[in-house]
């Protein structure tokens, strides 16, 4: 019964409130009889919250489930090589990947602002291999809690687009300088989406929810060059497209598949690997 945590008691606003949007879409997909993504913990949290999900975010779509599945695939491959490595999840919110992919060995550091972490800990309890760090991911103090000598995977779902370009650059340069055995994965939006969220009209999911301003947007073709400019030529950048998503207009997926250049206008994901010497 969704009555345990009243909406008035959810002290999350601005970017932190987007954790409820992504939870809604992941859980809604998982609850379907024909679901392509299964996340029982997302369902559990969704059912426990008394929050006007549909009023704020409209009808659910599968975009965030598709994103989570793509991140799971890349991270699962990394864990197969480094089962006892360290995963750092920046802007973790109510993401439950630490539960979906727990292999009994991996060490996990989840990072988010204090108000977001307070809500997370109502449902996800830290333990010996799962640590929660409260604070700004861009401040980089969380790096002191990570074993820099071992393999590290830094994940950021739904975070970097809300940062300014200089913050993104400093964050990526910081982790690249600290961790020698590093892989990174994050998602991006194209410039037009970022500009729309910053416009006076804004980007509204519904009449009751305006998407927070996004400050960093970049196209698929520009991303590899930008990242190598920031980090150096030794980095391989793999672009990952979103698959067709349930709940989006049919023409959207058809148009995206029919016109290869359209990826320049669409969001996507990036997986960074340092080349072996």
CATH number at residue 80: 3.40.50.150
22 and 96 in a single domain? The answer is no
pLDDT of residue 15: 94
Domain boundary pick from 34, 57, 80: 57
46 and 68 in a single domain? The answer is no
Q: Which two tokens stand for residue 60?
A: 């659910």
pLDDT of residue 2: 45
181 and 260 in a single domain? The answer is yes
Contacts of 36 (CB under 8 A, 6+ apart): 29, 62, 65, 66, 69
pLDDT of residue 262: 67
User: What is the widest separation between alpha-carbon atoms in the chain?
Assistant: 55
Q: How many domains does the chain have?
A: 2
pLDDT of residue 9: 62
If one counts every other C-beta atom within 10 angstroms of the C-beta of residue 29, the result is: 28
27 and 145 in a single domain? The answer is no
Domain boundary pick from 13, 41, 57: 57
82 and 118 in a single domain? The answer is yes
Q: pLDDT under 70 in the chain at which residues?
A: 1-9, 247-262, 277
Per the structure, the complete domain to which residue 40 belongs is given by: 5-57
DSSP label at 37? -
pLDDT of residue 6: 43
37 and 73 in a single domain? The answer is no
79 and 216 in a single domain? The answer is yes
110 and 45 in a single domain? The answer is no
49 and 134 in a single domain? The answer is no
pLDDT of residue 1: 40
Contacts of 65 (CB under 8 A, 6+ apart): 25, 26, 29, 30, 35, 36, 37, 39
If one counts every other C-beta atom within 10 angstroms of the C-beta of residue 212, the result is: 17
75 and 53 in a single domain? The answer is no
79 and 18 in a single domain? The answer is no
166 and 206 in a single domain? The answer is yes
Domain boundary pick from 32, 57, 82: 57
The counts of H helices and E strands in the chain are: 10, 11
């Amino acid at each position: 019964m969704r009555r345990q945590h009243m909406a008035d008691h959810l002290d999350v606003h601005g970017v932190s409130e987007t954790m409820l949007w992504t939870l809604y879409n992941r859980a809604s997909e998982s609850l379907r009889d024909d679901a392509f993504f299964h996340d029982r913990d997302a369902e559990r949290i969704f059912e426990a919250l008394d929050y006007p999900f549909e009023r704020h975010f409209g009808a659910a779509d599968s975009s965030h489930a598709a994103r989570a599945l793509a991140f799971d695939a890349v991270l699962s491959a990394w864990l197969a090589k480094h089962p006892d490595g360290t995963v750092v999840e920046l802007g973790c919110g109510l993401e439950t990947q630490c539960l979906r992919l727990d292999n009994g060995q991996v060490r996990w550091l989840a990072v988010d602002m204090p108000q977001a972490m307070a809500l997370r800990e109502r449902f996800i309890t830290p333990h010996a291999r799962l640590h929660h760090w409260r604070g700004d991911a861009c401040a980089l103090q969380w790096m002191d809690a990570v074993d820099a000598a071992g393999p590290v995977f830094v994940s950021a779902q739904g975070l970097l687009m809300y940062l300014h370009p200089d913050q993104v650059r400093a964050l990526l340069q910081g982790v690249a300088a600290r961790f020698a055995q590093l892989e990174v994965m994050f998602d991006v939006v194209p410039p037009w989406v970022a500009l729309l969220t910053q416009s006076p009209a804004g980007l509204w999911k519904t009449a009751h929810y305006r998407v927070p301003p996004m400050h960093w947007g970049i196209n698929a073709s520009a991303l590899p060059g930008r990242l190598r400019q920031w980090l150096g030529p030794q980095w391989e950048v793999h672009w990952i497209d979103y698959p067709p998503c349930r709940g989006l207009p049919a023409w959207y997926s058809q148009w995206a598949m029919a016109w290869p250049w359209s990826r320049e206008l669409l969001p996507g994901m990036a997986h960074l690997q340092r080349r072996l010497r």
